């Protein structure tokens, strides 16, 4: 495996092989991670890396584009079919550049934007004070309800009427409940704002119908192409036809030069995979697994933000339920063979690098073939670690149990 890398750079080859094995041995519960198909991996490392293609199909600044144009056109057509949108641009390098392009297309510097507070589930690019979205625009953050920890639409409406934002953002990175895009559209219309739906985390659930579809309501939709979608690490921006020209100009020449053609190819393949009937079954199972895991954890007296999940992820407030900080909990889980990330909880009194909770999700384990009954094993491990975070001997014993458990899901890697 990776023989050319081995010849060129043995040290990096060793690190790559070790990472390959780690991904097979541990239970991956980070909701933004997944496993791609071999076809997507091949495309990501293909000879299209060698080609420069500034511009768009039929309007390039370099010759030798006929095959690149075919690939990018197919990618755009498949994205439009997949998400039922008027227009798709597949050139964004990732989700953050896609969001930046939406700002660049629809706003002027200093315009007001509204997004969910970072500590309560929003993304850096939704108006966090140290991000471009707050440095170049006037950021007004909305919050969740302190009691229910769910989106407070009345508060959003009141803030919108007060601050008159030019753009309202719906879509989150650590929020476990469904989003009512229809209400967001109504609020946006009250103040003449654009509506941006960032579906980076829920893209697969939108495709399968396990989450409401933003397409009838949002002016612009952005998403990563990895995470639950199982494509390459990249971005995608979609919009209503009236915004097509502005969005395309914002990407090129506004923000980017040449697109990453090898990643465009991988995106096109991933979109076609997502158009297959079995993708919906996979996405349905993501939601079923998340629901099953959340119920098992609630039975074990874990404190879950909002009391559960409607999506693919959940936030455990381990400080509240076990007097255990999220960072310490995540590191103990890792020693036991479970991979997650520590995460803030709403109105967290602790700092982001040492927050009160962890974030876990089910896309990657669903890709491997896990179902509801397998969530019982995972919940047992999480419970055991929460009660014994400093028992290194027990954590090592548990890691070996996890390793044995994972042997039942190795068939995915042999496909």
pLDDT per residue, tens digit, the chain (415 aa), is: 799 999 999 999 999 999 999 999 999 999 999 999 999 999 999 999 999 999 999 999 999 999 999 999 999 999 999 999 999 999 999 999 999 999 999 999 999 999 999 999 999 999 999 999 999 999 999 999 999 999 999 999 999 999 999 999 999 999 999 999 999 999 999 999 999 999 999 999 999 999 999 999 999 999 999 999 999 999 999 999 999 999 999 999 999 999 999 999 999 999 999 999 999 999 999 999 999 999 999 999 999 999 999 999 999 999 999 999 999 999 999 999 999 999 999 999 999 999 999 999 999 999 999 999 999 999 999 999 999 999 999 999 999 999 999 999 999 998 7
Fold agreement (41-275, 285-414): no
Q: Which of 173, 223, 224, 367 is an active site residue?
A: 224
Q: Which of 54, 69, 152, 180 is an active site residue?
A: 54
pLDDT for 136: 96
Task: Kindly list the domain boundaries of the chain, sorted by start residue.
Answer: 41-275, 285-414
- 20 as an active site residue: the answer is no
pLDDT for 107: 98
Q: CB of 82 within 8 A of CB of 236?
A: no
* Coil/strand/helix, residue 34: coil
Q: Which of 2, 6, 25, 52 is an active site residue?
A: 52
- CA dist., res. 404 & res. 391, Å (int): 20
- 224 as an active site residue: the answer is yes
- 233 as an active site residue: the answer is yes
User: Which residues are CB-contacts of 406 (< 8 A; sequence separation ≥ 6)?
Assistant: 24, 25, 26, 27, 337
Q: What does 289-306 look like in DSSP terms, one character per residue?
A: HHHHHHHHHHHTT--BGG
Q: Which of 78, 177, 227, 291 is an active site residue?
A: 227
pLDDT for 305: 98
pLDDT for 1: 78
Q: Exposed (0-12), middle (13-18) or buried (19+): which is 42, by Cβ within 10 Å? A: middle
285-414 carries CATH number 3.90.1150.10: yes
Topology of the domain comprising 41-275: 3.40.640
- CA dist., res. 251 & res. 99, Å (int): 10
């Amino acid at each position: 495996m990776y023989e050319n890398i081995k010849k060129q750079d043995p040290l990096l080859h060793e690190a790559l092989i070790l990472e390959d094995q780690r991904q097979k041995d541990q239970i991956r519960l980070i909701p933004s991670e997944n496993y791609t198909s071999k076809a997507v991996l091949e495309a990501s490392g293909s000879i299209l890396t060698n080609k420069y293609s500034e511009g768009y199909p039929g309007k390039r600044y370099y010759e030798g584009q006929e095959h690149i144009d075919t690939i990018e056109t197919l990618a755009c057509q498949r994205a439009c079919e997949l998400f039922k949108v008027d227009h798709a641009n597949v050139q964004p390098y990732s989700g953050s550049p896609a969001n930046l392009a939406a700002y660049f297309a629809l706003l002027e510097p200093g315009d007001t934007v509204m997004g969910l507070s970072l500590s309560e589930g929003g993304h850096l690019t939704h108006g966090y004070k140290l991000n471009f979205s707050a440095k170049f625009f006037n950021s007004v953050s909305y919050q969740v309800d302190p009691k229910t920890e769910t989106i407070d639409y009345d508060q959003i409406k009141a803030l919108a009427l007060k601050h008159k934002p030019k753009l309202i953002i719906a879509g989150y990175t650590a929020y476990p409940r469904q989003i009512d895009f229809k209400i967001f559209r109504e609020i946006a219309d009250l103040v003449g704002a654009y509506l941006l739906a960032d579906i980076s985390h829920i893209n697969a659930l939108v495709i399968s119908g396990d989450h409401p579809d933003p397409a009838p309501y949002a002016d612009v939709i952005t998403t990563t192409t990895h995470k639950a979608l199982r494509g390459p690490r990249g971005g995608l921006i979609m919009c209503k036809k009236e915004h097509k020209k502005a969005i395309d100009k914002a990407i090129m020449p506004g923000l980017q030069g040449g697109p990453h053609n090898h990643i465009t190819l991988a995106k096109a393949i991933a979109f076609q995979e997502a158009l297959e009937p079995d993708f919906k079954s996979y996405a349905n199972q993501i939601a079923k697994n998340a629901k099953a895991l959340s119920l098992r954890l609630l039975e074990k007296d874990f404190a879950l933000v909002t009391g559960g999940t409607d999506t693919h992820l959940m936030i455990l407030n381990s400080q509240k339920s076990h007097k255990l900080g999220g960072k310490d909990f995540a590191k103990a889980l890792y020693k036991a063979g479970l991979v997650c990330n520590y995460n803030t909880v709403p109105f967290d009194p602790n700092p982001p690098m040492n927050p009160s909770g962890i974030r876990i999700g089910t896309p990657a384990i669903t890709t491997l073939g896990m179902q509801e009954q397998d969530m019982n094993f995972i919940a047992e491990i999480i419970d055991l670690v929460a009660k014994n975070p400093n028992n290194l001997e027990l954590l090592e014993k548990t890691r070996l149990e996890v390793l044995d458990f994972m042997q039942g899901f190795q068939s995915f890697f042999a496909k």
